[in-house]
Structure 1
Amino acid sequence: MSLQDLAWLAMAAYAIHVMEEHTFDWRNWARGVIGLPVEWEDFYVTNAVVIAVGIAQAQLAPTVPLIPLVFAALMLINAIFFHILPVIRTKGRFSPGLATAVVLFLPLGTAIFVKAAEEGHLDLATGIAAFVGGALLMAYPVVMLHLKARPYFQQAEK
C-alpha cells in the first residue's frame, strides 16, 4: 500500500470518526469533560475543514510527504490527548470518538509514519515538523473557540 493509499484511508477514517463523535454527543462531552465552549455549528465547520484538509493531504502525498505526516500526527494527537487520556482521567467515562481513535487513528497514523520511513521521507526533523504541524492544527480550533468570546472579536452591531 502506498503513502497516498494510506493518506486516503486516513481521510476516510476521520470521516467515520466525525460520525461517531456526532452520534454520541461529542458537544456535550467536550463542554462537560474538557471545558470547551463549543456549539454544534463549531463542530460542523471544524470537521468540514478537517475533511477538506484530509482530501488535500491525500492528493499531496506523492509530492509533499510531510503533509500526510502532519495529518497522521493530528490523528495521533487527537486519539491520545482528546480521547484516550480523558477516558483515563475520568476513570472510564466514554469519550465520543474513542472507538475510531483506537481502532482507526492509532494504527493508520502509525502506518503512515512507518511507510514514510520505509520510503525515505522521514528523518528526525521531518518527524518533529509533522508533530508540530499536527499540534498546531489540533490547537487552532480550540484557540479560536476561546478567542471568539472576547470583546475584540465580537461582531454584534453597537
Structure 2
Amino acid sequence: MPVADLFPPSMTFSHLWPWIGLVLAVPLAIALAGGGLRGDRSVTRWRDPVWLCWAGTLAYLFHQVEEHGVDALGVPYAFRGMLCATFGFPDPAACPIPEAFITAVNIPVVWLAGPVCALLGRRRPALALAWLGVPAVNTMAHLVPAVVEGAYNPGLVTALVLFLPLSVWSFRMALRRPDLGRRAVAGTVAGGVLLHAVLMGSLVAFLAGRIGTALLVLIQIVNPVIPPALVARVTAGQQISPPPARPRPGSR
C-alpha cells in the first residue's frame, strides 16, 4: 500500500495515534533491551513482573498498529469496520460507533495504564501483573472469533505472535512466585475480563441510546483502573516487595 494512502492530508488524530504509538515503541524497545526498566534485579528479566509489564506495553503498541493503523491484509483503520459489522453496520461510513470511542479505549489502557502499573509494580509486583490481564483476555477476543468464523480479524497476528506467548509465560512465572501465586493470577484474569465486559457493555448501551458519546468516552478513560484495583484488593495482605536496589553498572 502506498504511504500516501496511509497518511492522507486529511488524516485526523483518530487515525494518526497508532503511528505515534509505533514511534514511542522505539525508545521503549531500546530501554527494555538495555535492562533499564527492571523492577527486580534478583531474578532474570523474564521472571520480573515489572519488566514483563513494560514488554506487554511494547507488544500492545505493535498490536494497535495492526488493529487501527493497517492490518495484515493491508486495510487501514480496519478494526472499527469489523466492529461495526459485528453490530450490524456493514458500511463503516454509516456506522454510529464514534472514532473517539476507539481512541478512548486504546490510549488510556496502553499508553497510560501500562506504564503506571509497571511503576507501581516496583513495590507491588501484583499490580504489574494485573495489567497483563488486558492483553491476555484480548488474545481470546481475537482467537475465538477467528476459530469460529475461520477468518482473519484485525489484530489477530500480533495477538497470537506477541500476546499469547507473553501471557502464558507471565502467568506461569506468577504461579511460581510466593508474592503472586494463584490469587494474583485469578485476579489478573478477572480484571481483564471485567475491563472488556465494561468496554462492550458501555458500547451496547450507547448503540441502544441509553448513554451519550461523552459518557461512553469517559467510561473508557476510567475503565483501565479496574484491573489493578481488583488485583490490589484480592492480594491485600500478601508480601510487598522492598524498594528495588539501585542497578549495578553493567547489570542486566
TM range (shorter): 0.7 to 0.9
Find the aligned partners of 1:153 and 1:35 in 2 and give their Cα distance: 19
Q: Partner residue of 2:62? A: 16
Letter in 2 for 1:54: G
| 2: CA distance, partners of 1:106 / 1:20 | 16
| Higher helix fraction (1 or 2) | 1
Aligned equivalents of 1:109, 1:126: Cα separation in 2: 14
1:83 Cα shift? 0.7
Q: Report 1 or 2 for greater relative contact order, CA contacts < 8 Å, sequence distance ≥ 6.
A: 1
Count of matched residue pairs: 154
- Scaled by the length of structure 2, the TM-score of the pair is 0.55
Q: TM-score, normalised by structure 1?
A: 0.85
| Matched ranges for 1:9-158 at <5 A | 9-22=55-68, 23-24=70-71, 25-33=78-86, 38-51=97-110, 52-80=112-140, 82-91=141-150, 93-154=151-212
Give the conservation status (yes or no) of the 8 Å contact 2:117–2:127. yes
Structure 1: give runs of 5+ residues left out of the alignment. Answer: none
- The amino acid across from 2:113 in the alignment is V
Q: For residues 160 and 198 of structure 2, what CA distance do their matches in structure 1 show?
A: 23
Identity of aligned pairs, percent?
Answer: 27
Cα RMSD for the two superposed structures: 2.3
1:43 is displaced (CA, Å) by 0.9
Question: How many angstroms apart in 2 are the aligned matches of 1:149 and 1:31?
Answer: 11
Shift of 1:153: 2.6
Between the aligned partners of 1:12 and 1:56, the Cα distance in structure 2 is 14
- Deviating above 3 A after TM superposition, structure 1's stretches of 4 or more consecutive aligned residues are 33-39, 149-152
Matched residue type, 1:123? G
Alpha-carbon deviation of 1:34? Answer: 6.3
- Offset from partner CA, 1:45-86 (integer Å, 9 cap, x none): 110111111111111222222223222222111101x11111
The structure having more radius of gyration, on CA atoms, is 2
**Equivalent-residue separation in structure 1 for 2:207 and 2:161 (angstroms):** 35
Q: Aligned partners of 1:96, 1:13: CA distance in 2, in Å?
A: 15
